[in-house]
Amino acid sequence: MLAPKALLDALSDQASRLFSGDTAQPRAELESQFKVLMQGAFSKLDLVSREEFDSQMVVLARTRARLEALEKQFAELEARIAPASEQ
């Protein structure tokens, strides 16, 4: 994985080459090439998609709710055991 500065430098160099051509390219072609350039750069980073992030947030919320329920159940069990051990 490239360091962020190295990645930005590489992107800048490639974008400069892309936009400084001698021939005037149509806007759609430039956008297409830039999109390919950005996808290549993003593929080198450790990123997740929005869908994966959202699904992991759902899993985390369920896990957190389950943990809170278990903590409550544990506290109730401790409360039942504590009076018995004090005698």
pLDDT at 32 over 90: no
Which tokens belong to 74? 């544990």
Contacts of 46 (CB under 8 A, 6+ apart): 1
How is the chain split into domains, by residue range? 1-46, 48-87
Tell me the pLDDT tens digit for each residue of 5-17: 777 777 777 777 7
Tell me, what DSSP letter sits at residue 46? -
pTM of the model: 0.50
Tell me the pLDDT tens digit for each residue of 46-79: 888 899 999 999 999 999 999 999 999 999 999 9
Quickly count helices (H) and strands (E) in the chain. Answer: 3, 0
